[in-house]
Structure 1
């Protein structure tokens, strides 16, 4: 990955990297096993980019005690906290509370604001907000835990079943697409049992899976559309981004899982850019986010999920799309830092 900086920072900043205490970048990335490297590559890439930009870098590990974070802020008085925290005390949807804590301290940070994180975390709420404004989203139903699974008569098969709130393709496999009520009940029970969350069953949209990166606050930059492929998918198998497809390198090689620039016409590219800007605004997002679309043969674009603070390692989709647009990785990190420093946490975004 090209680490050449094309512009110099205005001043040397003090940057605190906030991450899980188990993922604090220590030593060299090559010191870790392959699995450990996969978990830590974003932390090491951000560290390298921040140092390349000439900033002071301090890493802080977060567990279940906010006093560690408060102590680091008091001690180092950072210009910005680069937020890579994805949970608090092992609870993923507590990530928004960590950001709320930073806002209470009046501490600038990178990434999305608490309100945007809260809205995007709830996939059903996201769809309701967008549907209210007339945007295309799959039809869906929510299946709470400890309730009888009863499909609404208006919701037809096939359906795609996933966690209402968990990210990273947790609980998603080939069995997530169901074609009858028996399989629906089985899959809902599986999500309840393994993810520990309500299940969401949504209309399965046949088509291409295209990701669009957006970054900024009130004024945003939309990155080139990035497409998900499975080259060795068996005939008739649904195109889905499974947990193995996202996190298992050996399976990725075997199945031919990859992403790359979406080859689309100018009309569709313009449509996705306009749609992405609107969705980013309607959901109150800030910092940076990845929007996941299904695009049908007739070029209707359905939002599947909004992912604020997506994976930001140098070889992940967001950074690859930025590089495709001519933004080198250190410059991307520099932009994310600048967005965090100018974000006004006292202003509600609409």
Structure 2
């Protein structure tokens, strides 16, 4: 039986580029080579796609601070409308061998926001993870929270501002509405990129300037006091939820450094210590959030659990980290699904959705 050819798309024109490199490495190391043949498609910071060799695709691969994509002269172009052979090696002007399914592991901008998913839909290629709509919704924290509020799901109280409003944003008015401390974050970023904790007016304006470097829209949110609980969700029409985990930051908050650079920046309790009834509530809430935001394939749902046990949704990540200290694969590991089996299930879910979509009619019959 021939192997399934999996195209792993990683890197990207994103502030989370280096995180994606780490995630790709862990997937490449864990995937079942008896069943799958891996095609590495590295996207550099300029947005160019490269066919990468599995033995040389990364530089400084064991150092999260200096890890880099090893660019090649084998750049890739895409050919929409083909039933097969959608990828072209520009240098040799030859088609790549058929890729059966894409595993996108590009975190953040142009990878997690629906852009890449839209391209893959145009190419009519099966791909792992949430489709275009759910990706775009979940990436935009402002839009996601509007939909969650509409569904009567608790989210942190906050305000949204656009770049052109920056000079008119009043610290005193925001403080009166949200109190202190508060958090400022870009609406369309992940991994705590551009996030600031604000204690006073000086840090407020500095936080706004930092967040607006990464997006044209920012959220200013109240600080929610509670345990940081994360739950992994897996599936299409009938998703399942993992045992919850808990983030125990060893710094002021769970920053980018704590997540991906400093292995001592946070302790990860997996599973989280809580009664069985609370575990069931977290799992049910995670699936509810997942379905409300039109997620499929996979996502990690992050909550704050307040002292009274109530849950407040923080955010949803549709391409969660797959690094060696990431919660998504770790939570499935403690829930009975190994890393290779998780990859296998995600690929099967991609094919399942692809077949479902292909059953839809694209022609109108006239009787």
Structure 1 length normalisation: TM-score?
A: 0.80
Choose from 72, 77, 96 the match for 2:98: 77
More deviation, 36-45/210-219: 36-45
- Tell me, in whole angstroms, the C-alpha distance in 2 between the residues paired with 1:48 and 1:242: 26
- Tell me, in whole angstroms, the C-alpha distance in 1 between the residues paired with 2:177 and 2:228: 25
- Tell me, in whole angstroms, the C-alpha distance in 2 between the residues paired with 1:165 and 1:75: 33
How many residues align? The count is: 310
Structure 2 length normalisation: TM-score?
A: 0.76
Tell me by how many angstroms 1:180 deviates: 4.5
Two-structure CA RMSD over aligned residues (Å): 2.8
Who is 1:164 aligned against? Answer: 187
Who is 1:20 aligned against? Answer: 11
Choose from 219, 225, 229 the match for 1:206: 225
Greater relative CO (CA pairs within 8 A, separation 6+): 1
Tell me by how many angstroms 1:247 deviates: 2.7
Evaluate the alpha carbon distance shift between residue 101 and residue 278 of structure 1 in structure 2; reply closer, same or farther with a 3 A threshold: same
Q: Select the structure that is richer in helix.
A: 1
- Tell me, in whole angstroms, the C-alpha distance in 2 between the residues paired with 1:119 and 1:262: 28
**Cα deviation 1:137-189 (Å, max 9, x = unaligned):** 011101211311134554333321111111111123xxx33245554333212
Who is 1:25 aligned against? Answer: none
Q: SS state of the match for residue 114, structure 2?
A: helix
| Structure 2 runs not aligned, ≥5 long | 50-75, 80-85, 89-94, 361-367
Evaluate the alpha carbon distance shift between residue 277 and residue 144 of structure 1 in structure 2; reply closer, same or farther with a 3 A threshold: same
- Tell me, in whole angstroms, the C-alpha distance in 2 between the residues paired with 1:347 and 1:154: 50
- Tell me, in whole angstroms, the C-alpha distance in 2 between the residues paired with 1:347 and 1:117: 22
Q: SS state of the match for residue 134, structure 1?
A: coil
- Is residue 224 from structure 1 mapped to residue 234 from structure 2 by the alignment? no
Tell me by how many angstroms 1:299 deviates: 0.6
- Tell me, in whole angstroms, the C-alpha distance in 2 between the residues paired with 1:49 and 1:61: 18
Choose from 71, 77, 86 the match for 1:68: 77
Tell me by how many angstroms 1:325 deviates: 1.0
Q: Select the structure that is richer in strand.
A: 2
1:1-350 correspondence runs (5 A):
12-20=3-11, 40-63=21-44, 64=47, 68-70=77-79, 71-72=86-87, 75-86=96-107, 91-92=109-110, 95-147=113-165, 148-150=168-170, 151=173, 153-172=176-195, 176-192=196-212, 194-231=213-250, 240-249=253-262, 252-253=263-264, 255=265, 257-343=267-353, 344-345=356-357
Query: Contact 2:332–2:338 at 8 Å: present in 1 too?
Result: yes
